[in-house]
Amino acid sequence: MSQQERREAAVRRLLDAGAPASLPPDLHADAVRRGSRALRRRTAGRRLLWLLLLAAAVAFSVWAATAQPWVEPPSRTTPPLTRW
């Protein structure tokens, strides 16, 4: 008998037992508490990521406004004088 067949047989025995297993009375409150904590953490993480993205966009905009990378830099040498 393979491991999978043993697992299936164990599940069938549990399901055929009829009466569902009793759960601890505070399980629902515990699950709600943990779920709300996870939701708060996820929301805080999402807000932090949006704040970082906004800060990066502002920093890039300030840099682009001051450095103006799209403008060609001035020439450091003078052009040759050919027509005098």
Residue 40 binned pLDDT confidence (cut-offs 50, 70, 90): very high
The widest CA-to-CA distance across the chain, in whole angstroms, is 108
Distance CA 10, CA 16 (A): 10
> Rounded to 5 degrees, what are φ and ψ at 68?
45, 70
* CA dist 18 → 11, 12, 15, 68, 75 (Å): 12, 11, 6, 75, 88
Mean of the pLDDT values across residues 28-47? 95
pTM of the model: 0.57
User: Does residue 32 surpass a pLDDT of 90?
Assistant: yes
pLDDT in tens, 41-60: 999 999 999 999 999 999 99
* Res 39: pLDDT: 96
- Average predicted confidence (pLDDT) for the chain: 89
* H helix intervals, the chain: 3-16, 27-67
Note the pLDDT of residue 84.
64
